[in-house]
Amino acid sequence: MRIGAWRPPAWLLPLAAGLTIGVLLVATVPAALRWWRGTPADLVIVSGVEDGEGGARQALIDLWNQLHPDKRARIELVAGSADEQHGAMVRFAKAEEEVKADILNLDVTAVAEFAEFGHIAEWPAGEAPARVLGELLEKPRASCYYRGKLWGLPFNSDAGVLFARRSLLVPVPATTPTAFSWEKVAEQGPASGSSPLAAAYAGQLDGYEGLTVNAMEALWALEPREARAGEAGPLGVPVDPAVWSAAVDRLYGRPGDRVIDPASTTYRESGTSDQFLRKKIAFMRNWPVAYRTLVETSDQTASVAAADIVMTPLPGPAVLGGQNLAVVSGSARGDDARELIEFLAGEPSQRLLMQVGGFAAATGATYDRPEIQAAHPYAATIRAAIENSRQRLQTPYYPRFSEELRTIVTEIRAKGGKEVPANLEKRLLDASKGRLPPR
């Protein structure tokens, strides 16, 4: 098939013009488009495997290529864990891979590191994309800056939310709840032998970034109200030992209380969703994209009826997630790369990502679109979660900081949750500056 033989489907054309896409988005990009493998002249975006549904990111690249045949682009996927993907991104940034990258799709926590060490290029002074920046919600926009300089734009945003299965709640609510306190979550812990539920709630407590995220959200929820009114100190988390002890208690629960699923220590996002699908937990902490996974799973015997899902904010601030697109410092096509990034971060593209892929849009106006509200009954909840979220600590040494935070959580748990390291604050401060503990 020659590339000239394909024409974009009707639902993509209004997007190109920035017009409403509404119900036209029910289609997906034909599989025939996916044959393109690129040439040395392509703009190369290095990205982790897509979390959303329907190949939405690839759909945008396909559309870009139809509109800009002289500036074709493709996505170079990197697989593996978050740590493995991070290592691959560094190699691509240093031109140590066979494929030469122009754009990196970075987790929001990686912007400071890649900017500090010269892996990505600052947006040229005086050329900031005012229109796109004006469309972005405040928190995703702020995540693109480091030391007061702009380094990229969002591909999508994210923030943690709470899911509940209405039919498993006791009593079953007559109307859709809009919020749950932690006390209400804990009340759903089943009595021994009286329910098929394993526990009331599960998060992600495996030894990866998900544990860091869940721990931060527990710490923020338990810090004093006066601290919660603003950002939590220079380290991004409280350092009060009492708060840490209570947070670890909330994360793992107490023996026999059946509030926290004891298998949570092995769960990542997919594991938590699986327990939710199997009616083993009444609540779960997850990202908004899980909604589409739950109601549109290919295993229809395990899917959840949309009416049985309740999505609310977490009982406390959520961690800001998402990915930002940044130009590789060594790219010879910086101008073209920035043009592509603006296209992908603009409101029409964010609308497609949310409508087709279930991603949380970084642009505010997207949430007001009738077609988005129809497809996503909890669009307002997602927007509120992003607006009330907090960013993880901006430090070039974030991976080290995150690892140390998890280590401290594990140590406190191992000592029954009551003994907090006396040097907690120093350890976190040292990690945030890249200093390793003595061996």
Orientation angle between helical segments 209-222 and 241-252, nearest 10 degrees: 120
SS3 content of the chain, % helix, strand, coil (to 5): 45, 15, 40
Q: Coil, helix or strand for 260?
A: strand
DSSP per residue over 21-59, as a string?
A: -GGGGGS---GGGGG----TTSEEEEEEPP-SSTTHHHH
- Going by DSSP bridges, is the β-strand pair 199-202/161-165 parallel, antiparallel, or unpaired? unpaired
* Residue 395 confidence (pLDDT) above 60: yes
Residues in the chain: 439
Residue with tokens 């430090």: 395
pLDDT at position 231 over 70: no
Do residues 326 and 103 touch, judged by C-beta distance below 8 A? yes
Percent of the chain at pLDDT exceeding 90: 75
- Mean pLDDT (whole number) for 130-159: 98
Residue 415 C-beta-side C-alpha neighbours within 13 Å: 11
Q: Is the pTM of this model over 0.85?
A: yes
Average pLDDT over all residues of the chain: 88
The single-letter code of the amino acid at 318 is A
Query: What number is the average pLDDT over the span 312-327?
Result: 97
d(CA 153, CA 134): 12
Which has the higher per-residue pLDDT, 231 or 96?
96
